[in-house]
Homo-oligomer: A and B are copies of this chain.
């Protein structure tokens, strides 16, 4: 007993000493601390700093705001919020004017394009959908498929439900990201696997396969996962929204139907996306009108017909959408925040659909072009699928 215990303790102390305190160790403060009333205290242990602010999407402002922290007598900067609604929140610090400083006390971080922020979740409401609960979990797969149009391999994220056992077949949702995102975005920022696990476990959504593609057609994989190396992630990738991604889409469907036990027919296929991914979902679903019975456009980057960018995909859009509706579908679901810069654009698109006699369902929220809305839209969209 003594010998092993000694070894284990020595191991822990040695590794701790080397890997933690000596070389990397950060501040020994608790941050963030969620209090029983759901107010949250942030702490940053910087005795010599002259100003420290916290930037967060829980602070009022167009897309979040900034508030000053105050230094206590031990040199630790602190700020405590009002009680917060149940949600996933992001934040970082501004230290002596330097933006984007991570909280060294919080290892939970998400990348959004080229920014990394810390996050935390307040449970007890909508945020419960974003937590890993003690429920049956689906599997996450990172696969690669060959894209013959572009002539290289492309990475894709696939969720298979807990009930996926290699025998039964399941319907498939294709879930697309926006500009600046990639095949990681819906998992990391969108909490897709948690939302799916929780909605399926509670019987609110059908068990389904969810495929999260990389919509940047010129890119093999998310930054850091492809041969492009450790690039600085950016928005303006070549060939974005020029029709190539939409043109190549049947190949990913074929790959998924070949690799996974899918129900490979229109009545068991859905496509949805946010922003650019909503635009892609609209274009792809109308281009292949026999492929999807369910369409979801989340804060979609739509304009009313007539898009052209040198690709046949963007020609005769209205006419193709008319054909799509004429062939029949089960759900055309549009969601947007009323302060989104694409709000009017979405209203115009719906007015045109209505004028042409097409049925859709519209879900309007407050807020703008933000992940809080997209997580909410996903959680409202999923229960309507494959019933």
Contact = CB atoms under 8 A, between A and B. Distances in A.
Interface of A: 1, 3-5, 7-8, 10-12, 14-16, 18-20, 22-27, 30, 44-50, 55, 57, 61-64, 90, 92, 95-102, 104-109, 111-117, 120-121, 131-134, 136-137, 139-144, 152-153, 155, 162, 166, 178-180, 220-221, 223-227, 229-230, 232-233, 235-236, 240-241, 259, 275-276, 301, 303, 306-310, 314, 341-342, 345, 368-369
Given A275-B11, A308-B4, A132 B49 contact: no
Nearest to A63: B18
Contacts of A223: 107
A303 B7 contact: yes
Q: How many copies does the complex hold?
A: 2
From A24, A64, A143, residue with most partner B Cβ within 10 Å: A24
Contact of A368 (B18, B64, B92, B133): B18
Given A7-B303, A307-B3, A20 B114 contact: yes
A261 to B, nearest CB: 10
Contacts of A144: 136-137, 139, 162
Contacts of A303: 3-4, 7
Contact of A101 (B90, B102, B155, B224): B102
A300 to B, nearest CB: 10
16 contacts: A1-B310, A12-B179, A12-B180, A12-B236, A15-B179, A19-B180, A23-B61, A24-B55, A25-B115, A49-B96, A101-B104, A104-B116, A107-B115, A107-B116, A107-B223, A131-B227
Given A4-B309, A226-B132, A307-B4, A107 B111 contact: yes
Interface centre among A16, A30, A47 (most CB of B within 10 A): A16
A229 B131 contact: yes
Nearest to A223: B107
Given A1-B308, A24-B115, A120-B230, A15 B178 contact: yes
Contact of A15 (B12, B90, B102, B369): B369
User: Would you call the interface of chain A mostly helix, strand, loop, or mixed?
Assistant: loop
Contacts of A232: 30, 105, 107
A3 B139 contact: no
Given A132-B225, A166-B259, A63 B14 contact: no
A227 B27 contact: no
A117 B4 contact: no
Nearest to A91: B24
Contact of A50 (B48, B136, B310): B48
A180 B221 CA distance: 29
